[in-house]
Chain A
Amino acid sequence: MTQDSPISFPLPDPPTLYHPAPLLSELREHRPVAQVAFPDGKLAWLVTRHADVRTVLIDSRFSRALATGEDMPQMGLGSLANESLIAKDPPEHTRLRRLVARAFTARRVEELRPRVATVVSDLIAGLRKQPQPANLVEHFSLPLPVQVICDLLGVPATDRDRFHGWSDAAMGNWERDQDVMAGAFISLGGYFMELIEAKRAAPADDLMSALIAARDDDDRLSEEELITMGIGLLIGGHETTANQINMFLLTLLEHPEQLEWLKANPGRLDVAVEELMRFTQLGSSTASLIRVTTEPVELSGVTIPAGQAVMPAIGAANRDPGVFTDPDRLDLGRAENPHIGFGAGVHHCLGAQLARMELQEALRGLLTELPDLRVAVPDSELRFKPTMIVRSVEELPVVWS
């Protein structure tokens, strides 16, 4: 590999679902801070080592707010990328995040566990009634996170059909028309304006009502921020959680001896979910959202000048042999596991504790109630939505006996 020519980005798709592109591992070893070129010619630095990726995510010399500028390469998230928590730097970010943080702490999430276990059982009961092969995405992986976040926010689950198409479109993808994404975002905004008015009239014990009170009683966020926060919370965790459920199942089926171990050791589900979080490649390009340097920063001996785009490759960092023993091996009982599958720093996933609990309950339900669940088609027949950030399978046909 030559040291100076930029590499085309996105990288070619990896040959398997279960590992990062071989080029990423090569880069991590030989060129951990590499310049890449987007199709439109914009340049960015791709960072692949665990320590460097953590620095990019945590160190305040890397800004998310600057990354939303017109001249920066844009990917994924569509309009959400410009308006929500993920688009702000401290202190603005801090002010907004603290308004929602309490609803997502480990302690609060534990209180929701029995309710989530019930949702899991109900969905599995519904799945069983389907003719086989049944689509796991439609009957389980997607409705679970949607139902859970709707409960938490106080969004009527019956409205799901209204917002699902918009949320799909608002997340956007590399090729998608900017107008389509913007239109979907506007529709979601209209939906939330209605919902907020309804809740103003009749507040309930839910997160949207609490946010409305923070707006109306204490003026701690603007009306626009209130709407954007609602949209972000509603759609932010769907695809990610659904994708992880699908990928966790595929990964376990690909590692039958590990799957047997987990069935025999249900008490280790929490550790197993951490290992699956580390192992699973969230998107095919495995890069997280771009940051921009506010001053020159040195990473692994390379000085990145101020004002440049930097992409932290979380998927590659989670396979760094300097941090994880035998990193490309799935080891569900792995003891030391400082993976960064939920990011790090001020943007560390707001829903991390919630997602962990949902994933634990989802696996517990599937493994105990449908112990011989199998995917009915080979991996080569799975089709994925072309998003940059999250790789989501359109349909996952499953069978059981």
Chain B
Amino acid sequence: MTWRLRVDREACIGSGMCAGAVPEAFDLDADGKSRPVREEINPDQDVLDAAVSCPVEAIAVLGRDGEEIPWD
């Protein structure tokens, strides 16, 4: 099973929290905004934790059918 990772670039304020916590999964571009390193990832608790901690809830972690993966 793989997850899909999305960052809403309109919402992202470039806090760098996600990229600081999980650099394997998130990368900051020249504007300082986040983007997923790869859109398809293996299930990873650290990525979920980063999504929970995003101050503007810009990170979506989705299952195969587009359903949101529960945070807990």
Contact = CB atoms under 8 A, between A and B. Distances in A.
Contacts of B31: 338
A129 interface: no
B12 to A, nearest CB: 11
A190 interface: no
Nearest to B28: A58
B14 interface: yes
Contacts of B43: none
B16 A101 contact: no
A54 B21 contact: no
Interface string B31-72: 110000000000000100110111111000000000000000
Contacts of B14: 338, 344
A324 B57 CA distance: 27
Contacts of B16: 54, 57-58, 344-345, 348
A344 B21 contact: no
A94 B46 contact: yes
B2 interface: no
Interface string B11-30: 00011110111010000100
A94 B20 CA distance: 10
B53 A94 contact: yes
A288 to B, nearest CB: 14
B28 A101 contact: no
A106 B21 contact: no
B19 to A, nearest CB: 6
Nearest to B11: A106
A94 B49 contact: yes
Contact of A60 (B17, B20, B52): B20
Interface footprint category on B: 20 to 34
Contacts of B55: 101, 104-106, 348, 352-353
Given A338-B14, A344-B15, A101 B20 contact: no
Contact of A102 (B19, B23, B28, B52): B52
A60 B23 contact: yes
A239 B47 CA distance: 33
Contacts, number: 66
Interface centre among A91, A102, A346 (most CB of B within 10 A): A346
Interface string A46-65: 00000000100111100000
Nearest to A90: B21
Given A338-B14, A345-B17, A98 B52 contact: yes
A347 B52 CA distance: 14
Nearest to B17: A348
A97 B53 contact: yes
Contacts of A93: 21
B51 to A, nearest CB: 9
A348 B15 contact: yes
Contacts of B19: 58, 345
Contacts of A353: 55-56
Contacts of B50: 94
Nearest to B14: A338
A105 B56 contact: yes
Given A90-B21, A91-B46, A338-B32, A101 B15 contact: no
Given A60-B20, A348-B15, A101 B53 contact: yes
Given A105-B56, A352-B55, A98 B49 contact: yes
Given A105-B57, A107-B57, A58 B20 contact: yes
B56 A101 contact: no
A271 to B, nearest CB: 13
7 contacts: A91-B46, A93-B21, A101-B53, A105-B54, A345-B17, A345-B19, A346-B20
Interface of A: 54, 57-60, 90-91, 93-95, 97-98, 101-102, 104-107, 338, 342, 344-348, 352-353
Given A97-B53, A101-B55, A352-B15, 6 more contacts: A58-B28, A94-B49, A106-B57, A338-B31, A344-B20, A353-B55
Give me the 9 closest cross-chain CB pairs, A-B, nearest first: A345-B20, A348-B15, A346-B20, A344-B16, A101-B53, A58-B16, A98-B52, A58-B20, A345-B16
